[in-house]
Amino acid sequence: MSKLIYLDNAATTKTAPEVVEAMLPYFTEYYGNPSSVYSFAAQNKEVITQQREIIANALGAKTEEIYFTAGGSESDNWALKATAEAYGNKGKHIITTKIEHHAILHSAEYLEKRGYEVTYLDVDEYGVVKLDDLKAAIRPDTILISVMFANNEIGTIQPIKEIGEIAHEHGILFHTDAVQAFGQVPINVDECHIDMLSASGHKLNGPKGIGFLYIRKGVKIRSFVHGGAQERKRRAGTENVPGIVGIGTAIERAVRTMQERTKKETEVRDYLIKRVLEEIPYTRLNGHPTKRLPNNANFSFQFIEGESLLIRLDMKGICGSSGSACTSGSLDPSHVLLAIGLPHEIAHGSLRLTLNEEITKEDIDYVVDSLKEIVAYIRQMSPLYED
Amino acid sequence: MSKLIYLDNAATTKTAPEVVEAMLPYFTEYYGNPSSVYSFAAQNKEVITQQREIIANALGAKTEEIYFTAGGSESDNWALKATAEAYGNKGKHIITTKIEHHAILHSAEYLEKRGYEVTYLDVDEYGVVKLDDLKAAIRPDTILISVMFANNEIGTIQPIKEIGEIAHEHGILFHTDAVQAFGQVPINVDECHIDMLSASGHKLNGPKGIGFLYIRKGVKIRSFVHGGAQERKRRAGTENVPGIVGIGTAIERAVRTMQERTKKETEVRDYLIKRVLEEIPYTRLNGHPTKRLPNNANFSFQFIEGESLLIRLDMKGICGSSGSACTSGSLDPSHVLLAIGLPHEIAHGSLRLTLNEEITKEDIDYVVDSLKEIVAYIRQMSPLYED
Amino acid sequence: MYSAKVMDHFEHPRNVGEIEDASGVGTVGNAKCGDIMRIYLDIDENQIIKDVKFKTFGCGAAVATSSMATEMVKGKTVQEAMEVTNKAVMEALDGLPPVKVHCSLLAEEAIHAALWDYAQKNGITIEGLQKPKSDIHEGEEDEAEEY
Amino acid sequence: MYSAKVMDHFEHPRNVGEIEDASGVGTVGNAKCGDIMRIYLDIDENQIIKDVKFKTFGCGAAVATSSMATEMVKGKTVQEAMEVTNKAVMEALDGLPPVKVHCSLLAEEAIHAALWDYAQKNGITIEGLQKPKSDIHEGEEDEAEEY
Ligand SMILES: Cc1ncc(COP(=O)(O)O)c(C=O)c1O
Ligand SMILES: Cc1ncc(COP(=O)(O)O)c(C=O)c1O
Ligand code: FES
Ligand code: FES
């Protein structure tokens, strides 16, 4: 296929060539184990500290508050399960939302089976958590509030600062899954009263298989992966040095380019949204119109099933994703789309397009033109359309 | 430093250039998320299956029995904690050994705090588990036996087949931490009745931050990392495609070169052992004389502390490791050296040298000559030497 | 993910459309689950299926199996059409991914539902044909267990 | 890991050796924990440390602090030698990694133990000097709590 318009940057991103460049020496040249005594490994130890500094700076955090993991899922599992454990004698109630990533939701379910109680907050039609609901859900035995910074499907950005303040006032730990937001919106852990924050390398042009968990100093959290004394004895396993260099370099890059990049993306995305809503009937935008990730657009096309749409887009060289159950072979469409109140049949016809800085308006024109044609084609073979 | 003789291949290895080569396209070219619908990601899905096949073939296992993880530590944590959970209603007794890696030992301690009972088997002076002890330790409520294939410090290879048979006869699950052995000795999971096996990429010239857990079909194990439906719903997290390609390529290479490589390493290692024992007084070899990993030599030099030795070797461009407590800043020297019966003061003076295929006898001559000089120098300033 | 045959039938689905005054129409599936399939049969007096059309709301496999199934029953007698099982359709498509097997079941059911409709209208019985569990014309919500 | 100064003193330790008929000898540490330090002092009638030697079984930091500490007390009066604390030694070495601070404590203790030995032998008191807790000549095993 000649043309490739990659509009699935929320699923994963291209590792930036400069990131790969930075990683390369750590495979075959400085391959030593950072825990070693000899000077051959000193460079590795040093470079890990540097990456920690870059990340800490990006968040307004301290160097020793950054703990490397294998990705967003591990960070989320760690944050939930190991704080639940550490604070279990203080209380067994956790508050999260209905629109979290499965790494949070399934960890929460795991805890529910082990005697914890979890409140899953509703969201409004735009996917925003209602602060009053949050306040009402707080109990004396609430030990943790976990609310994602921005949603991976509909891109809605939560009022994290307000949530952090509520948590702080009640002396409750606050974790945020910032896997989608970090690198796209400025984040300061102190301003937002964030105690823990999950992030993943491959969502911001870093490598796959590396992430981190920010843990505020003073938070008693247990280990999730037990073993060696790496990461200040909190996360075992030989350090993934190339991965760490990769995520550090990617974050440095993301922070440096954030303003310009997201400005451009927002403009192109808004152009996309405008054209789609104006030119394709029976279509809605999912997520908040303005409080959304700069690169996220999410539509529902009535009478259409998502996988069919994705495959036809693919035939035109366009990569997107869908909340349809059919893409995953499960019965229920995306829990996020259901949580914002979409009926099942409409949730099935959703399409998420997530941009990167290289996408131009010309690309978007091609995408929208293709989309119009495809949506019309699928609709004419849909038994629902005429109904 | 001009000269570099890297003799710490048990800590980590150089990623083979051909492995890096194989990984590279998956960073910037085929970067798609393997769970996606579009054909751009099909290559990724395909290549992951290929790696699984390579690994399954290497072990005599089935493709769908290989689950990728972030490394040996995660595999060990997963194997212990999640089987304990799944079989907890059958029994709460686990058998392991005193010489396991901390990833096993600390996971076992974690389980002990949660109502499980763990028997830590002693080993003989060579570090070999006594089969009679194992048999005697088995109880009706024993659900899991976890014995490492080969020890990371002293290189001793366990009678895995016999252990597997005992486990099998009693209907008890058998896990082995093969992080050090895989790629160095042939392993067949059926012959050895292995139900679960941990391995790590960076120990066999693959990348850091990737490993796998072999789980025999039919073993009920829970997830350790909860979230998305990756790895047949058993291990969440966007697949580390470059890492998976890296470990697969490395394993293919390790299996292909095993016979020739280990033959050469054994020869060079035996030359090293012979010269050291003959030429340096008050020295002993730790581990089994023959049933040991082909690339492992482990010595204790009386009257000497390990870190000092390592730093002086480093000054000569030689990278080794030690079981001394001083290298880690803890009080107790290696639990493995203590388990084989070394007194503390002798355990402190230990040195592990682990070869790779590039090490020549000439290198070894330089190492032994340096070692003689350094050991003599440190001894003359030791208050213990004259005693 | 999909075989070349599946992709071909998905990309160029055969027999899309409707038949006015069809001899039999069957609609199965459930929009909530993301799949609805409707099949129209035009059957002559010799019980031969002269024409067949379909409309499908569903995934790639659903579209491809609809297309293939309609191709396979066209020109057959109603009795022969009974042999167009989901297995036969899948084989003709060079297989489907395991999670997509239920979509091919839908095609079989849709044909059966259309045949049932035809049989009902004409007061005949077709050997082996049972009342479809999930024709949407009868009670809507009771078919979720199937897959 | 170690500063250049530490590495220098480790690589070229000053004052390694023994002093026969020393005015005071102190041995501290514990071989089980991987560190033993012995300091020999040659003190003249004006209570000036004319010479000092050491022997150390221990890590890089232990060797370097022994070396630096001996340098720092040489030529000093016994009273001045009391000011050579582990902090002073660490500063002179441009710092030590946190896990290695206890090794510098050992150097301070070894000097104190040697001074105590000297004071005992000569029946004098040195201001601020207390009986060393961990001189190996007295009861061997009770010093582990220190670090
Ligand atoms: C025997 C053994 N098990 C487990 C591990 C842990 O592997 P990793 O560091 O890749 O997590 C290691 C290496 O450190 C090892 O030698
Ligand atoms: C919001 C959110 N949290 C967590 C994750 C999991 O991250 P990873 O796949 O890197 O484990 C993702 C991405 O899949 C995500 O979008
Ligand atoms: S129609 Fe939903 S999976 Fe095929
Ligand atoms: S002497 Fe053991 S750590 Fe310094």
List the alpha helices (DSSP H) in chain D: 4-11, 60-73, 78-81, 86-92, 101-122
> Could you report the per-residue pLDDT of D62-82, keeping only the tens digit for each?
999 999 999 999 999 999 999
> Could you report the per-residue pLDDT of A269-279, keeping only the tens digit for each?
999 999 999 99
Q: Is B153 helix (H, G, I), strand (E, B) or coil?
A: coil
d(CA A37, CA B155): 20
pLDDT at residue C135, as a whole number: 64
- Per-residue pLDDT for A148 more than 70? yes
- B128: phi then psi, degrees, rounded to nearest 5: -95, 135
Q: How confident is the model at residue D28 (pLDDT cuts 50, 70, 90)?
A: very high
Q: Is the CB of C103 within 6 Å of ligand 3?
A: yes
Catalytic annotation, residues of D: 33, 103
pLDDT at residue B386, as a whole number: 72
- Per-residue pLDDT for A380 more than 50? yes
The alpha carbon of A183 is separated from its chain's Cα centroid by a whole number of angstroms, namely 10
Interchain contact C/D (3 or more Cβ pairs less than 8 Å): no
Segment B104-129 mean pLDDT: 98
As given in the structure block, the two tokens for residue A78 are 């760690």
d(CA A251, CA A381): 46
Active-site residue (options: A185, A258, A326, A338):
A326
Residue ranges of E strands in B72-172: 93-97, 117-121, 142-146
pLDDT at residue C33, as a whole number: 78
- Per-residue pLDDT for B58 more than 90? yes
- Length of chain B equals 387
Q: Is A101 helix (H, G, I), strand (E, B) or coil?
A: coil
Amino acid at B287: G
Nearest to B193 by CA among B157, B169, B158, B177: B169
Amino acid at A90: K
Rg of the Cα atoms in chain A: 21
> Could you report the per-residue pLDDT of B236-265, keeping only the tens digit for each?
999 999 999 999 999 999 999 999 999 999
Catalytic annotation, residues of B: 326
Beta bridge partners of A8: A354
Segment D105-134 mean pLDDT: 91
3-state secondary structure A2-19: CCCEECECCCCCCCCHHH
- Per-residue pLDDT for A386 more than 80? no
Return the sign of the alpha-carbon dihedral for residues A302, C101, C10, C77.
Answer: negative
User: Where does residue A258 rank: exposed (0-12), middle (13-18), buried (19+ CB within 10 A)?
Assistant: middle
pLDDT at residue D56, as a whole number: 95
Q: Is D59 on the interface with B (CB under 8 A)?
A: yes
Q: Is C144 on the interface with A (CB under 8 A)?
A: yes
Interface chains of chain A (3 or more CB pairs under 8 Å): B, C, D
CB-nearest to C57 from A325, A333, A383 is A383
Rg of the Cα atoms in chain B: 21
In angstroms, what is the span from residue B203 Cα to ligand 1's centroid? 8
- Per-residue pLDDT for C69 more than 80? yes
Residues of C in contact with B42 (CB under 8 A): 1
- Angle A241-279/A361-380 helices, nearest 10 degrees? 60
As given in the structure block, the two tokens for residue B71 are 């490394």
As given in the structure block, the two tokens for residue A263 are 């400005």
Count of H helices and E strands in chain C?
5, 3
Segment C3-11 mean pLDDT: 96
- Per-residue pLDDT for D138 more than 50? no
B18: number of Cβ within 10 Å: 13
As given in the structure block, the two tokens for residue C4 are 């070349």
As given in the structure block, the two tokens for residue B342 are 């070394």
How many angstroms separate the Cα of B315 from the Cα of each of A39, A46, A387, D3? Answer: 8, 19, 82, 15
User: Mean pLDDT of all residues in chain D?
Assistant: 89
Lowest mean pLDDT segment, chosen from A320-334, D51-65, D99-113: A320-334
> Could you report the per-residue pLDDT of C99-131, keeping only the tens digit for each?
899 889 999 999 999 999 999 999 999 999 988
In angstroms, what is the span from residue C35 Cα to ligand 3's centroid? 6
Lowest mean pLDDT segment, chosen from B278-282, B335-339, D132-136: D132-136
Instruction: Find the residues whose C-beta lies inside 6 A of ligand 2.
Output: A 71-73, 76, 101, 103, 148, 152, 177, 179-180, 200, 202, 211; B 237-238
Nearest to A120 by CA among A98, A93, A91: A98
Question: Domains, chain D, ranges and CATH?
Answer: 2-120 (3.90.1010.10)
Amino acid at B140: P
Residues of C in contact with A331 (CB under 8 A): 33, 144, 147
3-state secondary structure A245-300: HHHHHHHHHHHHHHHHHHHHHHHHHHHHHHHHHHHCCCEEECCCCCCECCCEEEEE
> Could you report the per-residue pLDDT of A218-229, keeping only the tens digit for each?
999 999 999 998
pLDDT at residue C134, as a whole number: 66
Inter-chain residue contact D34 with B344, CB threshold 8 Å: yes
As given in the structure block, the two tokens for residue B357 are 């295929």
d(CA C141, CA A104): 31
d(CA B3, CA D123): 56
| Run of H or E including C82 | none
- Per-residue pLDDT for B323 more than 90? no
- Per-residue pLDDT for A329 more than 50? yes
Q: Is B87 helix (H, G, I), strand (E, B) or coil?
A: coil
Amino acid at B180: Q
User: Mean pLDDT of all residues in chain A?
Assistant: 96
> Could you report the per-residue pLDDT of B185-237, keeping only the tens digit for each?
999 999 999 999 999 999 999 999 999 999 999 999 999 999 998 999 999 99
Q: How confident is the model at residue D137 (pLDDT cuts 50, 70, 90)?
A: low
Nearest residue in A to C147, CA atom = A331
Q: Which residues contact B191 (CB under 8 A, 6 or more apart)?
A: B60, B161, B164
d(CA A80, CA A78): 6
Q: How confident is the model at residue D135 (pLDDT cuts 50, 70, 90)?
A: low
As given in the structure block, the two tokens for residue A258 are 């954030």
State what percent of residues in chain B have pLDDT above 90: 93
pLDDT at residue B330, as a whole number: 67
Amino acid at B292: R
Burial D33-64 (b: 16+ CB within 10 A, else e): bbbbbbbbbbbeeebebebbbbbbbbbbbbbb
- Per-residue pLDDT for D142 more than 80? no
pLDDT at residue B3, as a whole number: 84
In angstroms, what is the span from residue A208 Cα to ligand 2's centroid? 11
pLDDT at residue D146, as a whole number: 27
In angstroms, what is the span from residue B327 Cα to ligand 4's centroid? 8
pLDDT at residue C146, as a whole number: 27
Nearest to A96 by CA among A45, A51, A163: A163
B258: number of Cβ within 10 Å: 17
The alpha carbon of A181 is separated from its chain's Cα centroid by a whole number of angstroms, namely 6
A260: number of Cβ within 10 Å: 10
Name which residue sits closest to atom 16 of ligand 2, judged by CA. A152
B62: number of Cβ within 10 Å: 15
- Per-residue pLDDT for C145 more than 70? no
d(CA B213, CA A100): 28
Nearest to B248 by CA among B50, B10, B45: B50
- Per-residue pLDDT for A56 more than 60? yes
Q: Is A199 helix (H, G, I), strand (E, B) or coil?
A: strand
- Per-residue pLDDT for A331 more than 80? no
List the alpha helices (DSSP H) in B280-353: 306-315, 325-328, 335-339, 344-347
Pairing of strands A66-69, A211-215: antiparallel
Q: Which residues contact D12 (CB under 8 A, 6 or more apart)?
A: none
- Per-residue pLDDT for A326 more than 90? no
Inter-chain residue contact C59 with A307, CB threshold 8 Å: yes
Segment A358-376 mean pLDDT: 98
Instruction: Find the residues whose C-beta lies inside 6 A of ligand 1.
Output: A 237-238; B 71-73, 76, 101, 103, 148, 152, 177, 179-180, 200, 202, 211
- Length of chain D equals 147
| Run of H or E including B72 | helix B72-77
